[in-house]
Structure 1
Amino acid sequence: MPLFKRNPFGHILWIKKWLIRILGVISHGRYRRFNELQIEGSEIIRQLPEQNVLFISNHQTYFADVAAMFHVFNAALKGRVDNINNIGYIWNPKLNVYYVAAGETMRSGLLPKIFAYTGSVSIDRTWRSAGKNVNRQVKLSDISNIGKALNDGWVVTFPQGTTTAFKPIRRGTAHIIKTYKPVVVPIVIDGFRRSFDKKGLQIKKRNVLQSMVIKEPLEIDYENETIENIVERIEYAIEQHPSFLKVLTPEQIKEQEELNEKRKFWS
């Protein structure tokens, strides 16, 4: 790799590689030691093309979700089957993996700026800014940058734009799908909200079962499906449609908590 080779966003690749290595080593124990990450569907990762892949997922923390995906993607590409054992996979990480994030979040301090260098496609949210509701136009440069990232590799996006469960899907994701026609791979995660703080930087609770289910790519008729139809399909694919809501009785909640306590994770 040439010393100063850059990606389409101007990031020097050897710097990005070392940041991913260092952050990968630091974060690995969060999914293997303090808590255990249960993975399904890693074989799907190995079947994907090198470029124009869009991962859509529900969202539970600012950073821990994405960090886990970096681990899972790289482990799968190095032959791990539904596990992130043996962190050697992080030595030569896939460098054309990006994730869509709010610009204000990624500019909020030194650590987020370091995270941003590993692959953030920062956008200005049209509905929320500085903790207040806003209503502003989508920046064409934001859409263009997501397209640039798709042309270079894989992009992770969280279509709800928030860590709050069962919030509406933002139509922008459907527009991106119709415009760039990527391979759309749904991911459903759970357990991150219980094990980490909202930012995903501090461990809030140990021995929590975290899970990541990678689903088969969606079959989309890019030309004929409407924005509304794609939005609904995203809701179902990442299990955030209102039909997935269920009300648990106190007895069911207690049973679920007892079951979580009894779970033993593999070593």
Structure 2
Amino acid sequence: MLETELRDAIARGDVTPYFQPVISLADQRIVGFEALARWHHPTRGTIPPDEFIPIAEDLGLIDALTHRILRQGCIAARDWHGDTSLSINISPVQLKDTWLAARLLAILQETGFPPQRLIVEVTENAIIEDIEQVAVVFASLQNVGIRIALDDFGKGYSSLSHLRQLKFDHLKIDSSFVRSMDTAESCKIVSAVAGLGKALGMPVTAEGVESEEVADALRALGCEQAQGFLFGRPAPAIEAAHMLDGGDTRTAAVKRNAS
């Protein structure tokens, strides 16, 4: 049973971060990486996060898991170019913790990673239960320099009131809209979100970019950043470092995906 194995897997270090690049659409420069948890199971191979993250939440292991991913991510990211950001995902359970900022900051100080380069990603579903509590947690994170991104925007309980009540630093457009940009409706939605981000002073990242045509369309619509298989699949830390050293982001991604 995965439930009985996950605790030991986290302690042994079998759950590790893989890094997917986020690029600037203007110049193809890597501006950051998102750290995504991967469980390397001895018999089942790599288990995707959507299978074990809910288990970690149910068993009360999500803090230990997040802290391990953050710690390993920070150690890897210390050697990246000075302005390259590291993004991690925070679960709804963790947004109830008023000590979240202190716990994350302790890991940043331990690893020597600047809080200004860390981006915490939260989904819309994570903020609807107690928005006042979430606002307190957000303020404590931002007060120490950590940025906050609203992930999967448009997928869940989309509400402009969330953008008014909570201070976000980034918006990430859900991949379902990006992958259906061959329809006029999705293009209009992406354009509207890009315009909204610009009006609010928030960079907008499009997720799930898989083709040159979509990347070009996003650029034309005013989207600033992109993430997806076109630019690179999630990869171990050493491969992420090679991507940073590879010059043109798209060339580095193509070389890796072809190998």
TM-score (norm. length: structure 1): 0.32
Q: Which has the higher helix share?
A: 2
Higher relative contact order (CA 8 A, sep 6+): 1
